[in-house]
Structure 1
Amino acid sequence: MGVSKKLAVSASLALFLSGCGSLWSDEGASSAATTSSSTTQTSTVAPAPAPAPVANTTTAAAPTYAAAGEPVTFVGDKVDEMAGDLGKLQDQVAGLQGRLGSIQMDAEKGSDDYHALLGMITARLQRGSTPGNPILVDQWNQAQIELEQVAETIPQMTKLSNDAADSAAFGQYLLSAVQATYGLSGAVESDHVRLEVLEDDVLQTMVIIDRLMTDLSQDMNRQNIYVNNERQNMTTLSLAIKNGELYGSSLATRAFTQTETLARAEAQSSVPKASDRPLVIIRFDRPNVQYQQALYNAVSQALSRKPTATFDLVAISPQRGTAAQIALNASAAKRNGEAVLRSLRDMGVPSGRVQMLAQESPSATANEVHLYVH
């Protein structure tokens, strides 16, 4: 009776994977469905099942191969298909990296040209100039154009970040498919060896996507602050040109800078105590945990009560198992913490107000991220 049940389960799993075909369609990768699970303390919502991806009906399958003397198996064919999907994902990631490099070059060039013009205006005002000097007015107009070109890179980064999130979702879906294939019957030893290599390659690709998303989040945060500050400085500089007298940077910019400097110092000097109660607890006990809305609500309320609030973001990993398992848990918890930090930046929380820490807990059963407010 036990053997029959195992054969039935294996047959069902084989039928499911056979029906899925390739995980990619001709028009692009189908994004993995995200599960719905958010916590403000301990709330968890059961995940919704991922939709079946569109089958690839025209793209030629990757060549089938097997070790010498071993038969070609159904599992081997699935490995070939998933390897082809991984290749397409890696090509897409390379394209994302190229787009990021191009955007960064445009922003750098615009910023260099802007500050060159700004330097000429400042030098002329410092030597003394007539009120409303037309040369300075023309240079100010050119500097304004260069600054707005830098500002145009922000929506480009936002679009790129969304595309990277789609790639990350598909990478998670592909990883789940690879891990599910281990349970299929009828495989030979070389099939599982290739599955292990494929699983490692998928994980490495996901690490690259995570780093890309982190770089994008940091760049967008910096560019937003930079453009807003320089727009205020341009307003003050316009008044200086009108009066023919150099004033300096905007007073609003100085006030903001001083506030952020004090907040950053406070954030770095604080460490959560054992008696402190977290503002938010996010448990990563399943893939694609949807925590953003609960996180936004909690942080929004905290900032409304205390506009100068600072935060400690603590990535907690279980201290269980072998040394290798503990190290893997710590690495996964760090990635989860970086993902939450990216979400906070995208929500508009200045990075200087958030301090990220890592801890191991013998009582934790899954990776968690705790957010404390000060």
Structure 2
Amino acid sequence: MALRNTRAVLLMAAMMALAGCDTIGTPFPSLSGPSSSTYAGSQPPRLGSTYFEPSGVSAGSPTGTYVGQKVVGYRTELTQLQTAIRDQNTQLQTVRNKTIQDSQAYHENVAGMNARLQVGTTPGNPILMNRWEQAQAQLNTINDDIILMNQLAAQISTNSAMANYLLDTVRASFSLSGAVDEDHRQLRVLEDETQQTVVLIERLLNELSQDVARQQQYVSNEKQNLNTLALAIKNGQLYGTSFANRPILGSPQMAAMGYGAGLGAGAATLSPGVGGGQPLVMIRFDRGSVDYETALHEAVNNALIRMPGAGFQVVAVGPAVNAVGQPSNNTAQARLYAERVVRSLQGMGVDPNRVSLAATTSPTVQYPEVHVFVR
């Protein structure tokens, strides 16, 4: 089916086999237009909200014994440790608030660009390009927030080691000679309070580590989305989130669902081992500028909705004869076009490991073509 103004042909006959139907249909969702879910992007992950406040250290009266002197020293160390935890908790709340504000500013910017693309705009709109650069800077700021979180986590890890060492030391002091009953009573109180501090630090460290992990994944996803957004701005059309952020599922059933079946009418005959089955997209480069990326994105999007684990083979198809009707194996120009299509797929977020490139000739084509197959 020829797409208006693009000459990029979406061949849906192969989808008939995928859908397991005997009649021609449209197994994939409609291409009528993007829904809000296709361009909303990933939302910022929810950060932890716990406020970590140590319970304090109980006072104790000096006993005048050697063990009593040890208890005084332990109490001082625990007080210093809890003071450090309070300071680090304050830093954590500050960086959390900053991260939330930075994320909100980033998403407001991206949402504005997506809204403008949804209603339509000119290709390469300079206003959107400037806003895209701003979004990239905003995402870098969020990444800087993650660095602050990692630095804070390293400090808390040091305090965690100190707290566990102090707890072991307090417990070992019960076996020291020369103690009175009051020394052991104060040691028990100190042991409980040190244990509570250890637990508090572990909870603080665990929650912060989860925040860091979620933020890192979020920034990684948004980098992919920005790449796709740049492609959308270049063409002046909304594409949605990057394919790289889709879940990857295994699809051992692909062969059984029709891929690799016989060629449909009108499709170029390819060499053995190249392509096979009906192309998902066929792009004919019969003029200098062919706008194929919108059609390619929609076709790949629908393929991944149906089969999240799908890969793609991009095949350069050159004419089998030259302009004077003589045999020709020259596929260089078609391969250059195919490499351009591969770069487009990668810009949309398709994992490079899920894309392969091949080249062949066909007696049925007059101009260089690029066929994209699902595999």
TM-score by length of 2: 0.49
TM-score by length of 1: 0.50
Greater RCO between the two (CA within 8 Å, min separation 6)? 2
Whichever structure has more helix as a proportion of its residues is 1
The structure whose Rg is larger is: 2
